[in-house]
Amino acid sequence: DGGITQSPKYLFRKEGQNVTLSCEQNLNHDAMYWYRQDPGQGLRLIYYSQIVNDFQKGDIAEGYSVSREKKESFPLTVTSAQKNPTAFYLCATSEVTGGTGELFFGEGSRLTVL
C-alpha cells in the first residue's frame, strides 16, 4: 500500500534525552514535512525538505534536527534543547513538480516527556 509510516506511535522520554521519530514514505513524493500539534491547536511547521540532502527550517525549528539522506525517509530528532517537547508530531509529504500543495499525512507520533 502507498502511504506514510511514522514510528513509534507512542514514545516516552526522560528529560535531557534525545529521541528520533521515523517517517518513511513510498508515494515517491519529493517534499516532506514535520509538523507539531499541541492539544486543541493547529499544526506548526518544524522543518521541511523539497529534495534529498536539502532541508529548511520552519516556524519552530529550535531544539529539533532533521536529515534527508534518502527520498523515502525524513527522520526528526527532538533534542534536549527543545524546552517543551511533549506533543503530537505529524509527518507529511507532497508532490513538488506540478503539485497543488496537497499534503498527505502519516498517523502521527505522540511524544511524552516524563
Task: Point out which residues bind another protein (CB under 8 A).
Answer: 4, 6, 31, 33, 35, 40-45, 48, 50, 58-59, 88, 90, 92, 94, 100-108, 110
Q: How far is CA 65 from the centre of its chain?
A: 10
Backbone angles phi, psi at 68, to 5 degrees: -140, 75
d(CA 27, CA 30): 9
C-alpha cell of residue 58: 520552519
The least distance separating another protein from the CB of residue 29, rounded to whole angstroms, comes to 13
Of 5, 17, 6, 4, the residue nearest 112 (C-alpha): 17
The least distance separating another protein from the CB of residue 38, rounded to whole angstroms, comes to 10
The least distance separating another protein from the CB of residue 54, rounded to whole angstroms, comes to 12
